[in-house]
Amino acid sequence: MEHQPNGRLFHYKISRNRITLLLDGLLEPSGVEVAQDRDHIVFAETGAGEVLSFNMRTKALTKFTDKLPGLPSLIRLTETRDALWVGMEEARLDETGAPKSLPEYLKDWPFLRKILMSGNLSEIFKAIYNSFSPPHLIAVKYDMKGKPLVSVQAPRGLPKSQGVKGISQFSESPEGVFLSFSRGNHIAKIMKRYGCTSAWNSQFS
């Protein structure tokens, strides 16, 4: 959990070996994807609880979608690049999409955030926070206009013995969907024959 808005987004042009700063002042940016039109970059700003779209031509920064059901983590375009999977680091339990997670509250209090994330206090705070954060696991697939298409959810989380929390990565294949977690050493697979809104496959590796 970042305590300062020091995240930056760069563009690296390989042919000229040139790096250009596109954005700064971000709260924990992660998961950068280039849209099919190659004019837009989509990325998650986890610390702010948003998925943003940046227009490379106009330099305009806009929200990709409103009322996310959780704190976005790493994002992944589908193979056809016409949809985007967003894994949630933590679920919001308010159906209106109002900020409910502690990281979102703390983004408006940078001094307090810095204190909580400093030194030995940081490890204590993380342990307490992880113990009380919602177990709900959720990821949503959006079209490139930000409209939700389908979701994958485990409202009660997975068994505590698995030690997993937060969905961080998604990858689709003809067989199903593979996902990894922000906490825990597991990769899960959801078979397509069960449907994307069905129960989770119980096999992990």
- The DSSP result for 29-51, as a single string, is EEEEEE-TTSSEEEEEEGGGTEE
d(CA 201, CA 205): 12
Q: The tokens of 6 are what?
A: 């020091």
Name residues of the chain where pLDDT drops below 50.
1-2, 97, 99, 194-205
Q: State how far the Cα of 186 lies from the Cα of 164, in Å rounded to an integer.
A: 7
Residue 11 tokens, joined = 């563009």
Q: What is the pLDDT of residue 157?
A: 61
Q: What is the pTM of this model?
A: 0.72
Positive or negative torsion for Cα 187, 74, 148, 55: negative
For residue 194, the model assigns a pLDDT of 47
Give the DSSP per-residue string, 162-195.
Answer: G--EEEEEEEE-SSEEEEEEEESS-EEEEEGGG-
What was the pLDDT predicted at 138?
80
pLDDT computed for residue 165 by the predictor: 65
Query: How is domain 7-194 classified at the CATH fold level?
Result: Neuraminidase (2.120.10)
What pLDDT, on the 0 to 100 scale, is given for residue 128? 63
Q: Structural domain boundaries of the chain?
A: 7-194
What is the structure's pLDDT at 177? 76
Name the pairing type of β-strands 29-34 and 18-26.
Answer: unpaired
Are 23 and 54 a contacting pair, CB within 8 Å? yes
